[in-house]
Amino acid sequence: MIHIGRINTLTALRQTSVGFFLGDLSDRKSQDFSNDILLPNKYVPDTLVVDDDIDVFVYTDSEDRPIATTLTPAIHRDEFAALEVVAVTSAGAFLNWGLEKDLLVPHREQAHPMKVGSGTSSSCTLTVGRIA
């Protein structure tokens, strides 16, 4: 089973023009092939080949699709960390957690209004398939 918001050890299943598709081989025992996750080319180590295992962090992209990265964020699901606010929009505050996609904290989930440049103690939770 693949855990969003956590480091997973996955197997390289196939290589494509956009990167490697990774999967959890334990899902294959039940014939579940729906959990393949893309590791984009920019994160693929030069030495990775099909059937290799690799440790990746799995999160969701802007279209809520699971995606893998070899980068390690400053916070994982169900953890707490001090993160910097890098932007505030009508959707909420965005926190830098070390990945390309900043972590969104909607206004309704803020204990107090967050401001750009300030640090905040944050928890990371999974909300309806999204890291929040």
- Does the structure show a pLDDT above 60 at 129? no
- Does the structure show a pLDDT above 90 at 61? no
Going by pLDDT thresholds of 50, 70 and 90, the confidence category of residue 41 is very high
Are 60 and 110 in the same domain? no
Residue 61 lies in a domain: yes
> Which range among 45-49, 70-74, 116-120, 123-127 shows the weakest confidence by mean pLDDT?
123-127
Question: pLDDT per residue over 12-36, tens digit each?
Answer: 999 999 999 999 877 555 555 567 8
Rounded CA-CA distance 99/73 in Å is 6
- pTM for this model (two decimals): 0.82
Q: Which residue has the tokens 């505050």?
A: 93
Are 61 and 85 in the same domain? no
pLDDT, position 10? 95
Are 62 and 110 in the same domain? no
- Sort strands 53-60 and 80-88 into parallel, antiparallel or unpaired: unpaired
Are 63 and 94 in the same domain? no
Q: Which residues does residue 47 pair with via DSSP β-bridges, in sequence order? A: none
Residue 74 lies in a domain: no
Residue 1 lies in a domain: no
Residue 2 lies in a domain: no
- Does the structure show a pLDDT above 70 at 71? yes
Are 23 and 59 in the same domain? yes
Are 34 and 55 in the same domain? yes
- Sort strands 53-60 and 37-40 into parallel, antiparallel or unpaired: unpaired
Domain that holds residue 29: 7-69
Are 63 and 20 in the same domain? yes
